[in-house]
Amino acid sequence: MTLARAEQASRRYGDVLALDRVDLEVRAGELVGLLGPNGAGKSTLMKLLVGLRRPSSGRVELFGGDPRDAASRRHIGVTMQETGPPSTLRVGEVVDFVSAHYPDPVPRAELLDRFGLADLARRQTGGLSGGQRRRLAVALAFVGRPRLVLLDEPTTGLDVAARHTLWDAIRAFHDDGGTVLLSSHYLEEVEALAHRVVVIGQGRVLADDTVDAVRGIVGVRRVSLVADGLPDLPGVVRTERVDGRLHLLTTDADELVRALVTARTPFTDLEVRPTSLEEAFLAITSGDAPNGDAPAGTGRPTTAAAGGRPTTV
Amino acid sequence: MQLALVHARYQLLEIIRIPVAVFGSAFFPAASMIFFVVPFAGDDPVGATYATASMVTFSVMSANIFQYGVGVAEDRDQPWNPYTRTLPTGSAPRFAGRVLAGLVLTYLSLIPVVVIGATLTAAQVTPAAFLLALGTVAVISVPFTLMGLAIGYLLPSKAAIVVAQLIFLPLAFGGGLLSAPGNAPGFIETIAPYLPTRGAAELMWAAVADYDVEPLSLIMLGVWVVLLAALAGWAYRRDEGRRFS
């Protein structure tokens, strides 16, 4: 059963095309990660799905209805990227306020306990730390015993411990049969939680696949070194020469280094660094001809979805 | 309806936690009572009653213009407002809750004026007239609520504060709220009927004393309500279009 669906959904803000013919289907019981760099269109897609915005063209559906109808939102829970509850209200009051909108809300104490907020019930939200406020915002998504939660960058700004508390809560919800659509610009987070990943870049779906397949696409490393010439190397997505240094973006840094050594190429000053998601996306979406043949299954989006072809920047 | 009450309750809670916000709108009319009404008209039962009714009108006006103008504008800046729209309800309960909360706060802001009027002046009112005045307060809140909503939905919060401050005093003076009926300086008597404050004040005067409302003031009050409703409605839809479509 499909709980949320976008069909060729586009969204334009003035001159900016934030979403470009996006297809997405979230089925009951799935835990889907929406991965993409900042400004990729993740939040816009979330806003369309929860009814805060209307698509400029195309369709969005929630439980088979229009997300803008209140009835369609009865079984969802939402954490937006920005959620500041009124600063003078106490944590418990904010929970009670949201609870009042649902027929069978989770008892306040149980909810706060689940998200490590039990000690803070009497605290005014204005006095919470950023991380505590974020945890409260995520907790609110679960108040109404939703069947689907949509979490837009739920762990941004959290420290490691708080992030793991949240991950546990999200996993527990999913283990009980709940469906999750969660956006993040951390590959690590999506790897830790999601089974299926939808990669969004420049408003388009670039990939819609398993975590492993997507890791192959975006798990790009930057290998840089000083050398006069290079042999054919495996897995290189892009090559640049900057100030005499060669920068190779590769999907498999280990294999590349092994090949360098095996070929007895003279080089100095080797560095291997992880790339940011932005760099990885740029690499896979740019039209630069890869240096050598990219191995099958990497360097290319793996989806058949419309708009899944790499674009030329 | 029940949700509207829930929204009203939490909005009141939000505001009451900052008591200065509540006292703010009550302060100026209460201070005017003490500095102008008590020394000059305090001993005259008729004059004091009119003056107290004027100050009540003043209070209703400033409370509404400020709490809607500034409150709505600030609310629009907060991410909490869009969040509430992801809950399984439309925007109506939040809006209705806001108006209910606004009315409660308006009544609260009147308490100092009424208490000063009752204890420090010779103002008199029969129980029936008092009840009538209570109802009249809700009626005359309408134009100022609409004015506040228009400001709040049209302007960013910093501008809304300034505009609210700029208009409430001229409206009070211009409408003749700071002088006895028929006793305002000449030019104010001329312009007063065309301001919404005058029609509102006349309704209050008629509620608590023997005053015949001037048709012109009342007609103009109706015109203001229609104009302000159109402006507020347009501003609301414009804001909806910008943020939620």
Domain ranges of chain A: 2-215, 220-285
**What's the CATH code, domain A2-215?**
3.40.50.300
The pLDDT, as a whole number, for residue B92 is: 85
Interval B26-44 mean pLDDT: 82
The number of distinct structural domains making up chain B is 1
Q: What would the pLDDT profile of A141-151 be if each residue is shown by its tens digit?
A: 999 999 999 99
The pLDDT, as a whole number, for residue A165 is: 87
Q: Say whether A101 and B89 touch across the interface (CB within 8 A).
A: yes
Q: Say whether B80 and A86 touch across the interface (CB within 8 A).
A: yes
A233 or B99, greater pLDDT: B99
B80/A contact by beta carbon, under 8 A: yes
Q: What would the pLDDT profile of A249-283 be if each residue is shown by its tens digit?
A: 887 888 888 988 888 888 889 998 877 666 666 66
A71/B contact by beta carbon, under 8 A: yes
Contacts of A88 in chain B (CB under 8 A): 13-15, 17-18
The pLDDT, as a whole number, for residue A5 is: 93
Q: Say whether B79 and A83 touch across the interface (CB within 8 A).
A: yes
Nearest Cβ partner for A89 among B10, B79, B90 = B10
Nearest Cβ partner for B82 among A54, A80, A86 = A80
Q: What would the pLDDT profile of B150-194 be if each residue is shown by its tens digit?
A: 999 999 989 998 998 899 888 988 888 887 777 777 888 888 889
Contacts of A78 in chain B (CB under 8 A): 83, 86
pLDDT at residue A166 above 50? yes
Contacts of B15 in chain A (CB under 8 A): 88
Q: Say whether B10 and A84 touch across the interface (CB within 8 A).
A: no
The pLDDT, as a whole number, for residue B173 is: 87
Total-model pTM: 0.80
Shortest CA gap A71–chain B (Å): 6
Q: Say whether A52 and B86 touch across the interface (CB within 8 A).
A: yes
Any idea what the Cα angle at residue B173 is, between residues B172 and B178, rounded to 5°? 90
Chain B residue with the nearest C-alpha to that of A79: B83
The pLDDT, as a whole number, for residue A277 is: 62
Shortest CA gap A163–chain B (Å): 22
Nearest Cβ partner for B78 among A54, A84, A93 = A84
Q: Which of residues 45-74 of B touch A (CB under 8 A)?
A: none
pLDDT at residue A25 above 90? yes
The pLDDT, as a whole number, for residue A281 is: 64
The pLDDT, as a whole number, for residue B230 is: 93
Q: Which of residues 35-54 of A touch B (CB under 8 A)?
A: 50-54
Q: What would the pLDDT profile of A71-116 be if each residue is shown by its tens digit?
A: 999 999 999 988 788 888 999 999 999 999 999 999 999 999 988 8
A56/B contact by beta carbon, under 8 A: no
pLDDT at residue A288 above 70? no
The pLDDT, as a whole number, for residue A155 is: 87
Q: Say what percent of chain A tops pLDDT 90.
A: 41
Domain region containing B108? 2-244
Q: What would the pLDDT profile of B89-147 be if each residue is shown by its tens digit?
A: 878 888 889 899 989 988 988 998 999 988 888 888 899 999 999 999 999 999 999 99
Q: What would the pLDDT profile of B210-242 be if each residue is shown by its tens digit?
A: 888 889 989 999 999 999 999 999 998 898 888
The pLDDT, as a whole number, for residue A211 is: 81
Inter-chain Cβ pairs, chain A and chain B, closer than 8 A: 64
ipTM of the complex: 0.84
Q: What would the pLDDT profile of B37-58 be if each residue is shown by its tens digit?
A: 888 777 888 888 888 898 899 9
